Structure 1
Amino acid sequence: MLHPFKGITPQLGNDVFLVDSAEVIGDVHIGEQSSLWFNVVVRGDVNFIRIGKRSNIQDGSVVHVTHKKNPTWVGDDVTVGHNVTLHGCRIGDRCLIGMGAVIMDAAVVEDDAMVAAGALVTPGTLVRSGTLFAGSPARFKRELTAEEIAGLKQSAENYLNYVAAYR
């Protein structure tokens, strides 16, 4: 599950939940109460990865970096859906990244934003706070409603309950 790379061992905050098939490599810090689910790979080998508190990385997702150029940052209370690829990007707090989405190098998803399932967020794209981006390539679709923004935090909280059930 945890693999040192070039003498750097992943660091886990208190109460992090990792299933046995999750692989975490190298310069990775994961904040308290975050969860990595089945067949997730978080590979901080040629740059670093930081995952905040109470975030969940769901089944089959891959988190990687750009060599010597772009680390990957995932904020607090983030939901990363099944089979997502995050590569050398920055994800703010309370975001939802839909199933199968790909977020590429130097892209930034600001706080309280949503990327739709299957979206391709191309290099350098800015997903502004309070918006929904969808499509391939991903483009602005609309502003999020107040209910949807509240739901972003609720999604992360749901995963805290799932962790409790698995334990």
Structure 2
Amino acid sequence: MTCYSLDGLTPVVDPSAYVHPSAVLIGDVIIGPHCYVGPLASLRGDFGRIVLEEGANLQDTCVMHGFPDSDTVVERNGHIGHGAVLHGCRIGADALVGMNAVVMDNARIGSRSFVSAAAFVKAGFECPEQSLVMGAPASIKRSLSDQEVAWKQAGTREYQQLAQRCLTQMQVCEPLSEPEPDRPRISDSGLRPKDSTS
């Protein structure tokens, strides 16, 4: 990772967390245990504080930033999809923010809630626990079922396992010029529906 101290504050990364080498951490950033930070993520603690609590993931090209004296927080087991932007907001425990969604200042996403892909959550927006938030501007559409929340929790566990796989198995390498015969596959996580014939 590319890591910068600023104004005497150095980013903190728990040893059990995985931060991709292309991610950028600046200043007041705190990454807790078992977190995953994907390629090209930017966590800019140059004004406010940036926090990923235990088990949270922040995927490829996500941005976390805020105004001076603000906190931008993803609580325990939060799940932030590819390309999302979080600015001075709080994402509740076990919540999901979909791909390319934007969550603005002082917004609070309740625990176990989902923000849909490409949603725009206005500054100051609040939603109760276990809500589905969609649209641009976003609004609360309905409550989520326990089954939907369980699906999200399984995905978050996959990212927690991915953090450990990356810590122990990922290596810089040169690409091959062609696929090897009988090229193996990375094993199925079990999240996709199985074919009824298999």
Q: TM tier, shorter chain?
A: over 0.9
C-alpha distance in 2, partners of 1:7/1:154?
39
Q: Does 1:24 pair with 2:25?
A: yes
Indicate the residue corresponding to 2:101 in structure 1. Answer: 101
Greater percentage in strand: 1
Q: Is the 8 A contact 2:16 2:164 kept in 1?
A: no
2:147 aligned counterpart, secondary structure: helix
CA distance in 1, matches of 2:98, 2:71: 21
For structure 1, the 5+ residue unaligned runs are: none
Indicate how the Cα distance of structure 1 residues 123 and 131 shifts in structure 2: closer, same or farther if over 3 A, else same: same
| 2: CA distance, partners of 1:123 / 1:42 | 19
Q: Do the aligned residues in 2 keep the contact of 1:16 with 1:33 (CA within 8 Å)?
A: yes
Q: CA separation in 2, counterparts of 1:21 and 1:128?
A: 35
| Counterparts of residues 55-94 of structure 1 (less than 5 Å) | 55-68=56-69, 70-94=70-94
| Distance in 2, Cα, partners of 1:162 & 1:12 | 16
**CA distances 1:138-166 after superposition (whole Å, capped 9, x unpaired):** 01111101101122322210102223333
Aligned to 1:148: 148
Partners of 1:67 and 1:152 in 2: CA distance? 32
TM-score (norm 1): 0.95
Deviations, residues 18-60 of structure 1 (Å, cap 9, x unaligned): 1110001101111101011010000011111111011110000
After superposition, the CA RMSD in angstroms is: 1.0
Which structure 1 residue ranges, 4+ long, deviate > 3 Å from structure 2?
A: none
Between the aligned partners of 1:16 and 1:44, the Cα distance in structure 2 is 18
Q: Percent identity?
A: 33
Please report how far the alpha carbon of residue 14 of structure 1 lies from its aligned counterpart in structure 2 after TM superposition: 2.9
Q: How far does the alpha carbon of each residue in 1:93-125 deviate from its partner, in whole angstroms, 9 at most, with x for none?
A: 001100000000000001111000000000000
What is the letter of the counterpart of residue 49 of structure 1?
I
**Count of matched residue pairs:** 166
